Structures are given as structure tokens and as C-alpha cells.
Structure 1
Amino acid sequence: MYTMKISRMTVDKLGVKLYDKVSAVIAELVSNSYDADATCVEVTAPMGIYLATKQQGVLQDHGLTITVKDNGIGMTPEEVNEFYLKVGAERRTDYRRGDTSKKFGRKVMGRKGVGKLAPFGICNKIELITSGGDIIETEDTEGNKIMGYITAHLILDHNEIRSDDDNDYKPRIGQLNNTIQPKSGTTIIMSEFAHRKVPDIDAFSRQLAQRFGINSSDWSVVLKDSNKKVGDDKQEVAVGEFSVKKMRGTEIRFVEISDGSGGTRYAALDPDGDEYSDLKSFIKYEDTIYPITGWVAYSETPYKDDLMAGIRIYAHKKIAAQTTVFNKKAGFTGEHTIRSYLVGELHADFLDLDEDLIQTDRRDILWSHELGKAFEQWGQTLISKIGKLSREPMKKKILEVFKEVSKYEQVINTAFPLEEQREIREQAVTIAKLFGQTIRQDELEDKEHVGKLVELSLIFAPHVTLENKLREAAEDADTSLGVMAEILKTARVAELSSFGKIADDRIRVINKIEQLKDTPGTLEQEFQELIQSAPWLIDPQWAPITANQTFTTLKREFQKFYRDATGEEINLEAFPDPNKRMDFVLSTQDNFIEIIEIKRPGHNIKDEELNRIINYADQMEAFLNEPSNALFKKTFNGYRITLVADGLSLSPMAQKALNGLMSDGFLTHISWRTFLLNTRKMHEAFMNEAERQKRYGIRTE
């Protein structure tokens, strides 16, 4: 009779709580197969789907199974009782089993005796079929001689274990129990699942490769998709070695080498194979040397998944931890790059020898232990070393990616195609390379940002070239007329590049304005604020004036004057508070005060609104005629009104007043369509001319 001695709380703590992912559970079972001297493990599961679903909080089981089958030494019924059903027994301190496997002498991965409970983290039922011990000869029911291995077959039910509290649990017996099977090995079948998803077969393969991708002729792991038929694409995948492409010139290796006198020692080697004097391949703790072998480097590409992230640390060929910076505090130089590119594989068997420094769930190291702290300090020194080593290769790599993403050479050749623009092209390439060497890896994924850097190289190149030519001319006492002509041509290209960029940016703004205009619910306030920051939308020759203190004072004083004269407050500034609506835009161009009234698209001006606009004008005239404001009147030649509105709904008298203002040149009325059409047309014409002159040379006629 099979008996498990365990409390239900222990089952939850060591099974359900520690192992809640399908991949982690399978990893534990595969490690048990490794310890059992299996040469092949087959994992059969429905790949890429949920094992059970929830509807309105109710779990629905789909009758699916996951099977892990190996050809290891298996167990006899007695061994099942003694070892498998005895939870928490130390494997390596048991003289009957020891810390190495029976057949291949493998340093066993299991130690704490709790991995067998891992399936309860994802399922309710575990079925165990295992055949082991010595080969025996017996007879079948018909008297025929058969040879094989005694088999144990039992079913463990999580619900039944929990219900028994701390009483001994007796699993159900399977039909193959005490039968003779021709081959040794163990099969575990899991069923009645929680709401868990199986990774797709490629991701699952990489996850297991990270932990068990051991290069050995007597070890293999195969995944099979139970949702597919034999022969279907990706129905079966062999787990290979976990591979990461390394960036050239970044690898540091930790190796065991001959000391020249018949012994060996450990050394850290740089990318050229030379030994470091300031970096060791071991840690020293309490006068004992603890060797470390393996490698660290930068990956060819930034991390694509968590499996690649950082350095994998193994103890006895099983992963013990994965770390990116050995707990180094944030803020160190090169941190972003290291967290995106650093990879490695280190073997530190001392983590699982006399002192067990691996956490129970085998996902990290006990860094708080004194030996763990020594290893952590060694790792942080390594992080600093490889960070410095990889700076130049990283710059070169990022520049290669920048060149590929930005296509800056093609863009520059298109912008400056003429033979006489060769120096400008060369300068633009130099500037683009500088940008490419300083850009961060994450910024490379932002195509808009990369494009703007290339645009800047096009703008800066003519100016830098002009500066160089002027310096050369200043140093040459016999500057020829031809040299001066080259300087003037370069100056012209520089000028056109700058103005062309301005025009290009303005076209983008106009596009945004058009989108805003066609968006229902856009408020007048939003348009008023845009005009205040970009008055060239009204007239392409206008520019915002921010340093004119006299005009700033005029706006402030006019607001006071208007309040005193009318008893009403007006607002001429763009406030973030939506309750403080801007009445109109007050701008200045060519020493004229511009009163700009914007109405939302589709709006028709009514008598009351026109009267308010006229009142603004009247008050401005009265303000300028005040003796105390003589300085303002001397500075500004007068005022004008621009009204942007799609239509008019005025009485005959109001219409007559409007016509009078327009005929006198005091007021200009334009619709939104005309406003945007004129603005776009004038800027596009300028931009096209700038581009034409850049492409076909300077025309003076």
C-alpha cells in the first residue's frame, strides 16, 4: 500500500505557491528525469492554449493532459514509497542514493525533495507510472516467460490530500501497478488543470533550452504538440542548446587552464584571449577558492524576451539564477545598455555544494549569505569591467543600426546631389555619424526621432561647411574671386536649408490645424492660443515676438484700461485654466497692433459679436490717444483687425458698419478655407523654391 506522509499546508507551500507556471512545473519534472539518468525526455502537451477556462468565475476543465515521459532508471514500488512519497527528504545526504546518479554519475539537480509537488501548482491530479529496479524474469498470465521491470502505478489527487489534513494520504492504485514492463522509465500524466496557459512550442523550447540545453550525446528533450498530428509542422521540436549571438569584441571568458606544472588554475580572458590582471575567474571566501567558468558578453541585438536578459548562472548544469547587474544599484554609467544587451553563462557549482545557496523555487540565489555576498561583489566588478570594455563596440553597433534605420547616406545624397556640394555632403555624413554614435538604443526604434536627427544633419552641414570655408579664406592672404564665389554659394545653400526646414515644419503645423478644424467640438480658445504662438498662420511673414517688453506692457495696460472704461474684464493671455477664456489675440507686426478674432469653423458672426469687436477697436483707439500712453502711440503706428469666420448673419446696419471698416483698411475678414489655403500655398511655394535651388544650383538671374 502506498502512503504519503505530508500536511496539506506543505503541499500548498511547496507545490501551488512555488510553481504556478506550466514551464516551471515541466522544468522540475525534466530535472528529475535528468537525475534518474534518462537519455531522452518527451513532453507532450497542447501547445499555445489554456488548459482550462473561466466563465463567470467558474473554472471549466477541457479534459486535457500533459505527459512527461523519460527512459531513466525509474523506481520500484518500494522506492516510490520510500523516496517519491516522502516529501522533503534530502537526496544527497541519503547514503542509499547519494549526490550522483547511478548510471552516468551525473551531479544530481534535485536536492530538497519538493519538486515532485510542482505539478500541483497547475493541476489537481498527478498520475505516476514508473518501472525500475533490477531486471527480473517472470511469467505472464498465460505462463509465458517475460523479462522486465516491476512497475508502480498510482494517482495523487490534490483535493483528497487537502481534505485529509495531516493524516497519512493513500493514493489510488492504477491498473499497471505491480505489472512487468519491458523498459525502465517514468511517466507522469497531469490532468484537471487550473487556469494556466501552455507556451507555444517555440517559446517552450527556448525556455527549456535555457535550463536544460546541455550539449551531451546522452541527453535530449523533445516537445510534442498533442493538438497536431504526427508529421504536421511544429508537431515535434527537439530542445537544443540555448544560443545567443554575441557582439564582436565584447566577450570575457572564464576558463580553466594549465598552470605549466601539471596542475590547473582559473583565468579571466579578454576578447583577444589575453589574461586580465584585475579580474579573477574565482572568488575567495574564508581561504577557500571557488571557481567560476563560462562567459559574459553583449548580445548582437537587444533582448527580445526575458530568457535572454542578463547572465544565466548554473550549478551542476542546472540554472540557479538569472541576473542582469548582480543587484548593482541603479544609476551607474551605461546602465541602460547593460540592461538591454548584457548576456552570459556562468557555471558556479559552489552554489550547490556544502552550502546550498539556491532558493527553494530555484529562481534565484541567497545573496544574503556571506558566500553569496562575495559572489555578488565579484559580479558587480564584472559588470563595471564589461561596461567599459563594450563602449566602443556598442557605439559601432548602434551606428550600424542607425545607418540602416535612417538611410542617412541616401537622404544626404538626395538633398545635396551636385558635384559642387561634395563638401556639404561629406560634412552632413560626419554630423549624421556623430548623432548615430550618441543616440540611445531605445531611441533607434523611434523612426520620427531618427528622421529628425538626419534632418538636423542636413541643416547643420551647410553652416559648418561655410564656417570652414570662411576660416580657410581668412588664413589665405590671396583669396581668389573663385573662392569667394564658392563661399557665397555655400552661404546660399545654408540659408535655403534653414528656411526650407522652417517652411517644412510650418506645413506640418498647417496639417495639424486642418485636422483640428475638422474635429467636432474644437473650441475657439484652442485656435486663439495657436495663433498667439504662431501668428504666421495669419500671414506667413509674421513671426511671434517674445522679447518686446513695450508690447508686453501695452497688453497689460490695455486690459486695465478696458476694465476701467467698460467695467468688464478681458483676457489677452493663454492661460491653462479653461475657465479663463482668451477674448482675442493681440499681436504686433511691423509696429502695427494686430487684433485677431478667431471663431470656430462653421460659425456665422452675429450683430452682438461684431459690436464687441468694434468696441475692442474703439477702446484701443481711445487707449492710444490717452496722453499718458504717448509712448505706445509713438512706438506703434496704429491697429488693424483680422476676423477669421466662415460666415456672416448680420443685420443691414451691422453689415454696413462692417463694410465701412473693411473699405477703410481697418478690418480684414477671411473664411477658414481661405485662411488655410493662402497659408499653405505661400509656404509650399517657398519650400518648393528652396528645394529647387538646392537641387539645381544657385540661380542669380
Structure 2
Amino acid sequence: MTEQYKMTVDLNVLDHLGINLYSNIAAVLTEAVANAWDADAETVEIRIDPDAQWIEIEDDGIGLSIDDMNAKYLRVGYRRRDEDPEHGRVTAKGRPVMGRKGLGKLSLFSVAKVIEVQSAKDGASHGLRMSVEGIEASVQRKELYYSPTPLADDAITVTKGTRIVLREINRQRLGKSVTALRKRLARRFSVIGEAHRFKILVDGHPISTDERGDLPVVQFLWSLGDSEIELGSAKGLLEREALSDRLDAWDTDWRVTGWIGTAGQPKQLDSEDAGNLNGIVVFARGRLFHENILDKLNDGRLYTKYLTGQIEADFLDADDQPDIATSDRQRVQEDDPRYIQLIAFLKSRLAQVEKRWSEWRRKHEVEKAKETSPKLAEWLDGLNPGLKKSAETLISKLSALPVDDEEDRKVLYRHGILAFERMQLRGSTEELARHVDSVEKLLTILADRDSLEASLYRDIVKSRLEAISEFKSLIDEDAKEKVLQKYLFDHLWLLDPGWERATDSPIMESRLIEEGIFTDDMTKKEELGRVDIAYRTNAGKHIIVELKKAGRKMRLLELQEQGQTYVDKLRKILAQMGRTSPDIEVVFVLGKTVDEEISNPERLKSSMAAISPGSRIRHYDELIQGAQEAYSAYIEKTKKLDKLEDIVNGI
């Protein structure tokens, strides 16, 4: 029969499978290391040029003959597990083969334009050079295949295994540092170490499992089945428990090994080098199979912010089942029954984790809090048994909240006790304890609690009055300027008592620096009459506050031009971020009045509105006096001390 139809594959497909498929160096090197494992190598050495001119990957595996190079390495889509009957699924040393699609070798083109490969087998060595330019030329010539260039005999130095050299590196994909690369590689393999007779060296130093960075921050740990876990780096481990490694309905050879843990604080899982550790890594056959399956569980409860872990589920990559890994081998096909079963397993086990986590956390955080504050221990011990569990839950959550200063935690304890005592009267103590981590629900619970609000607010008002008092005795304008600069941008309630939670944005401020709005140029500052300028946000509002020199007499036209420039630049930045119609206010803080404030107030008002609705001028003395009056009036209304004053003040 004549062939009526014929499928062909263009060389151009290499662009999609290699050059543009991978985005970071760790993912690329994972493929090279996996190939070394499959070659029964015991050592893989990665060397990186300090000037980022080249990267070398060398292994001591079985190597490749010229026939092997053509039939296996250079053949895109070579399926070793199906096509090598002797060692396609298990190597000569008994290792489960990691490779499957035959595409990983192309990942090298993601970070390098030129790739040199040398290999030695049965006493014979050879080598070749491939280049993106050469592949693209073959594509343009519509050739059926690409022919790499043989290396000269005097350029071949390898005598065992395989050496790959990457040249003309794409520096944008190299990552931040060698330290970061080591940590990320450590998190991509579960077969590192003497137990597996497999070492990965970067610039001469072996990678260790400790470099994954997760176990050192783990406080509570759950092992799956009889998994053996190296806990030498888990210095902060307080509690440990074993969970079943399979669901009852599973086939007998299906099981999940590894561990799940929780950190003491969510911020401990934020690693600049290793990446975000708040996730559960999935391995199969010793290598990364899913970067973070926790994202797929749709569980938004508080404990998930503390989770980390590494599990291995080899049934995801069984030889006799379809391959469910995506082309870049970082994710899986989520409708596959094996993946669905893994999700079901994790949901079941995490339900157990969450329950035990709450118990352990309450126990240890309360113990820590009581040691810190005898008065707090006195209060807890004085509660009746029916209330004590809710109180301990509340204190454990407050104890675990991330704060930079431990004095701030004492403030949280004081407010928590006051809130709990008032919730007692309304029978809402359990609800308070349960929702202290959810701002929206907590505010609903506390709505219309006037007496509670007064008690909680007293300490805040008190501290603000102390800050305001610094201004009272200041007469010299330069002194006022310095003190106001110190407080203003971190305490915008001085400008507006309603701005309780105004926050800064380093990213936005960096953009404003690029636009020339923010500057350290003293000549530019002198020209603008500026002491300082800052960007803040509050309840969806974008605020630019500029503090002018106390002795500088400003003209209204100057302020209007400057303000309009700030608004235009900020609108441009926000539009690039997809934020249209932003609510922007510009506030100028002056030492001296503008002429129009007295001679033409309406003109002043319209000029400020022309900058943006809500923009205005404030004066040093006015804002200090206004803030003092507002908070003094409030404190006068709340002079009556709470019956818990002794305990609260003692914390």
C-alpha cells in the first residue's frame, strides 16, 4: 500500500523542547544529574566559572560510545525504559532509572548557546560540539537532522564517564549564587549521600541533605510509615509522630515515604537561597516530580502557612503506567488517577497533622509564654477549667505571631487578656480564640464592643501622646524639622488620625526612584526645598507625603507643579501594574504658610484639588497641635482603669 499520510517533526521543535522550556539553572542541572544517576555514576562534579563564562558537569558513569551517543543521547525522545530490555528500567547497579521522555538533554540549551560533550567507554573517548546557532542554521536550511561538530582529538581529555561543558551562558538564568544553586539541587534529589552511593559536588564541595534548609526550622514532624529520616540538622524539633504511609484501598505496593513538618514561625520558611520552603516537595524514583503539591490541596487554614516537607511516591512514575510528568518534569497531569489518589492521601494525613499541630502548639507556646511572663501564668492559672483551654489557644496563637520586638508581643498579650475577659461576659471566648488569626472574623466578633475598644486603644493612645510630647517644648524650627522627619513617615496618624495602618512599599519606592521622584541628590533636594519624601498606602489610597524645609517659603505654583509631577509619575507606574483610576493624595508639610492661604483660600483649594482630589497642605505646628488635641480628648474619656490593670501592667 502507498502511504497516503506521513507525520514529520521539524528541527524547529527543538526551540520549544529545549531552548525555551526551562527557566532556571537548577532545573537544567537536574536533568544532567539524573542522566549521571542513570549511567550508574557515583560522583557528579559541577564546576562553575566565577565569571560565568562556562559550566562543567562531569560524572564517572559508564559513558557513551559513538553509537550510544547517536542512538541514545542525540536522539530526541529516546525512551530508555521501553527500548533497552536489559537496563532500561533498572541500571546494572540496581538503580531505578530516572529518565523517561528523552528530552532532558535539550534543557542544556536553556542556559547555554554552545554545548560540548565528551564521553569515554570501553577505553575509547570521543566528543562533539552543539550550538544553538548551528541548530537554527539547519532549521533555516530545512534539513532533516542537525549534525554536531566533532571535537579535535587533542581537545578530548575525558578517560571515564561523561563531561559536558556549557559555554556562552545566559546569565539571566544562572540564579543568585552558588550557595542558592547548592540548596536548590539538594531539594531536587532524595538519593544524595553515602546510603545511595551518589554524590553531587559543586566546585569541589559535596552537597548534603542538610542544605535543603527545611529540617533545621522544623518544630513538629510527622514521618510516613517506617521512613528513615536523618534528623541531625533538626535542632529545634520538639515533637514527632508516625503516620500510616498508605490508604487502605491502595494496591499493596503503593505507599508514600518521607515526612511532613511544621516550622515554629512562617517567616522561617522564607529562604532567599533555597526558595520558598512553605510547600511539600514530591519525589518519584529519587528525583523531583512535583515542586509543591501543597498548592493543589486548596487548604487555606492557618497551619498550612507553617507546613514544609518531602515525600516520595514512586507509583507516580511506574514503568508499566503512562508518563504523567509534564515536559519540564516540574508538574504532573492532574487528572491521572494516581495523582488524584495522592491528593486524597495527603488530605487525609494533613487532617491528622492539623489536629496534632493545634495540640502541640498550644502546649509549647503556652509553656514558653508562661516562662516569659509570670503574670500571664498567674492569669491562666486563675481561670476555671471550662475557660482555660480557650485561653491557652488564644495565648498560643499570640505567642506564635511574628513580631520583630518581643515588647510588642507583651502588648499583644495585654490586649488578648482584655479581649478574653470581655468576651467572657458574652460567652464568646472560644470564638475569639479560634479567629484571632483571621482579621476579618476577629473584627466581626469585636464589633460594637465599646468598652473593649477603649481598653485596647488606651495603650496605643498613650504611646502616641508620648511621641507628641516630644514636640511640645520645641521652639527652634530646625529642631522641629529633625524631630518631625524622624516620626512623620512611620506615624502618618500625625497627619490624619484615620490613617491607622498606613504601610510603605519598597517596590513602589524603587520605581519612584527610577522615575526621579525620590532622590538623594542634595542639589535636587535644595531646589525642591525638600527635607524628605515618602510613599505610603492606606485602605486602597496611594499617598505621597513631602516634608519641606521649615524655613523655606514655598510658592503655590511651585507646589502645584511638583504635586502634578508626582501624581503623573505615580499614575504611570500604577497603570503598568494594571491599576487603573487610583486614588492618590499628595500632602505637603510646610513650616511657613503659602501666601494664598491668607489672601486667596479658594485659589489654594482649587490648586490642590487640581493635583488630585484630597491633596493638601499641612503645617508643622498645626498637625502637632491637632494630633495632641484629638488624642488628649480621647484619653480623657477613657481614664477609668480596667479591673485587670495589675495583671496587664505586669506583663
- In structure 1, distance between residues paired with 2:79 and 2:131: 24
In structure 1, the partner of 2:262 is: 298
Which blocks of at least 5 consecutive residues in structure 2 are unaligned? Answer: 1-7, 229-238, 425-454, 473-479, 500-540, 544-588, 600-617, 647-651
In structure 2, the partner of 1:280 is: 246
Q: Which residue identity does 1:236 align to in structure 2?
A: H
Where 1:129 maps in the other structure, the secondary structure is strand
- In structure 2, distance between residues paired with 1:607 and 1:363: 64
TM-score by length of 2: 0.58
Q: Tell whether the 8 Å contact from 1:19 to 1:121 is kept in structure 2 after alignment.
A: yes
Deviation at 1:527, TM superposition (A): 11
Deviation at 1:110, TM superposition (A): 0.7
In structure 1, the partner of 2:215 is: 244
Q: Tell whether the 8 Å contact from 1:432 to 1:454 is kept in structure 2 after alignment.
A: no
Question: In the alignment, which of 219, 222, 240 is matched to residue 198 of structure 2?
Answer: 219
Alignment of 1:392-411 (within 5 A): 392-399=359-366, 403=369, 409=373
Q: Tell whether the 8 Å contact from 2:77 to 2:101 is kept in structure 1 after alignment.
A: yes
| Deviation sequence 1:528-587 (CA, Å, 0-9, x none) | 996999xxxxxxxxxxxxxxxxxxxxxxxxxxxxxxxxxxxxxxxxxx9x9xxxxxxxxx
Q: Aligned pair 1:17/2:24, yes or no? A: no
Q: Tell whether the 8 Å contact from 1:124 to 1:157 is kept in structure 2 after alignment.
A: yes
Q: Aligned pair 1:308/2:282, yes or no? A: no
**How many percent of aligned residue pairs carry the same amino acid?**
18
Question: In the alignment, which of 84, 104, 129 is matched to residue 93 of structure 2?
Answer: 104
Q: Which residue identity does 2:130 align to in structure 1?
A: L
Where 2:83 maps in the other structure, the secondary structure is coil
Where 1:74 maps in the other structure, the secondary structure is coil
Deviation at 1:130, TM superposition (A): 0.5
Q: Aligned pair 1:171/2:148, yes or no? A: yes
Deviation at 1:124, TM superposition (A): 0.6
- In structure 1, distance between residues paired with 2:23 and 2:65: 30
In structure 1, the partner of 2:462 is: 504
The 1:46–1:180 alpha-carbon spacing in structure 2 relative to 1, beyond 3 Å, is: closer
The 1:505–1:160 alpha-carbon spacing in structure 2 relative to 1, beyond 3 Å, is: same
Deviation at 1:462, TM superposition (A): 11
| Deviation sequence 1:45-71 (CA, Å, 0-9, x none) | 146x7x4xxxxxxxxxxxx00000111
Question: In the alignment, which of 143, 157, 173 is matched to residue 131 of structure 2?
Answer: 157
Deviation at 1:94, TM superposition (A): 1.1
- In structure 1, distance between residues paired with 2:15 and 2:72: 20
In structure 1, the partner of 2:161 is: 185
Q: Which residue identity does 1:220 align to in structure 2?
A: K
- In structure 1, distance between residues paired with 2:456 and 2:138: 82
Q: Which residue identity does 1:216 align to in structure 2?
A: E
Where 2:296 maps in the other structure, the secondary structure is coil
Q: Aligned pair 1:78/2:67, yes or no? A: yes
Deviation at 1:507, TM superposition (A): 1.0
The 1:316–1:409 alpha-carbon spacing in structure 2 relative to 1, beyond 3 Å, is: same
The 1:464–1:35 alpha-carbon spacing in structure 2 relative to 1, beyond 3 Å, is: closer
The 1:157–1:379 alpha-carbon spacing in structure 2 relative to 1, beyond 3 Å, is: same
Larger Rg belongs to: 1
In structure 2, the partner of 1:438 is: 397
- In structure 2, distance between residues paired with 1:606 and 1:293: 75
Q: Tell whether the 8 Å contact from 1:507 to 1:684 is kept in structure 2 after alignment.
A: no
Q: Tell whether the 8 Å contact from 2:461 to 2:631 is kept in structure 1 after alignment.
A: no
Question: In the alignment, which of 113, 125, 131 is matched to residue 120 of structure 2?
Answer: 131
Deviation at 1:39, TM superposition (A): 0.6
Deviation at 1:76, TM superposition (A): 1.0
In structure 1, the partner of 2:178 is: 201
Where 2:215 maps in the other structure, the secondary structure is coil
- In structure 1, distance between residues paired with 2:276 and 2:493: 50
Q: Tell whether the 8 Å contact from 1:19 to 1:361 is kept in structure 2 after alignment.
A: yes
The 1:434–1:393 alpha-carbon spacing in structure 2 relative to 1, beyond 3 Å, is: closer
| Deviation sequence 1:113-161 (CA, Å, 0-9, x none) | 111111101111000011013xxxxxxxxxxxxxxx2112100011111
The 1:94–1:205 alpha-carbon spacing in structure 2 relative to 1, beyond 3 Å, is: same
Q: Tell whether the 8 Å contact from 1:281 to 1:293 is kept in structure 2 after alignment.
A: no
Q: Tell whether the 8 Å contact from 1:290 to 1:350 is kept in structure 2 after alignment.
A: no
CA RMSD across the alignment: 5.5
- In structure 2, distance between residues paired with 1:532 and 1:442: 25
Deviation at 1:682, TM superposition (A): 12
Deviation at 1:246, TM superposition (A): 7.3
Q: Tell whether the 8 Å contact from 2:46 to 2:201 is kept in structure 1 after alignment.
A: yes
Where 2:291 maps in the other structure, the secondary structure is strand
Deviation at 1:396, TM superposition (A): 3.8
- In structure 2, distance between residues paired with 1:373 and 1:363: 17
| Deviation sequence 1:377-426 (CA, Å, 0-9, x none) | 2222222232222211233455577x49xx9528x69xxxxxxxx96797
The 1:513–1:164 alpha-carbon spacing in structure 2 relative to 1, beyond 3 Å, is: farther
Deviation at 1:297, TM superposition (A): 3.0
In structure 2, the partner of 1:360 is: 327
Deviation at 1:320, TM superposition (A): 0.8
Q: Which residue identity does 1:253 align to in structure 2?
A: L
- In structure 1, distance between residues paired with 2:630 and 2:227: 74
Q: Which residue identity does 2:397 align to in structure 1?
A: T
- Indicate the larger mover: 30-39 or 296-305: 296-305
The 1:423–1:71 alpha-carbon spacing in structure 2 relative to 1, beyond 3 Å, is: closer
Deviation at 1:255, TM superposition (A): 3.8
In structure 2, the partner of 1:590 is: none
Q: Tell whether the 8 Å contact from 2:279 to 2:308 is kept in structure 1 after alignment.
A: yes
Deviation at 1:201, TM superposition (A): 2.6
Where 2:360 maps in the other structure, the secondary structure is helix
Which blocks of at least 5 consecutive residues in structure 1 are unaligned? Answer: 52-63, 134-148, 225-234, 258-269, 414-421, 466-496, 534-575, 579-598, 610-644, 647-669, 696-701
